[in-house]
Amino acid sequence: MPRVILIVDDDCELCELVGELLRAEGFDVEAHHTGEGAVELAAGGRFALVILDVMLPVQNGFEILRALRNRSAVPVILLTARG
């Protein structure tokens, strides 16, 4: 199984922080900062896990997750700052 985690979040600082923590645990991390192209990337089979922000501009995380589920069963953790 791949040990690469994809983070899809428009907050670059948060991506860096989460990436550092995951790398310390032995994972490779790739960050993508927009929803555009995230489904194609995540469905490609390279990732063990996708960490997906709910509140992305243009296309939100729920829309991305719906589209991703049509193409892949990759595990997804949703992040949100929503109350």
This prediction has a pTM of: 0.91
Contacts of 16 (CB under 8 A, 6+ apart): 31
List of domains in the chain: 4-79 (3.40.50.2300)
CB 59 within 8 A of CB 32: no
Q: Which residue has the tokens 């997804």?
A: 76
Structure tokens at 16: 């860096």
Residue 49 bridge partners (DSSP): 5
Model confidence over 18-76: pLDDT tens digits? 999 999 999 999 999 988 889 999 999 999 999 999 999 889 999 999 999 999 999 99
Model confidence over 20-36: pLDDT tens digits? 999 999 999 999 998 88
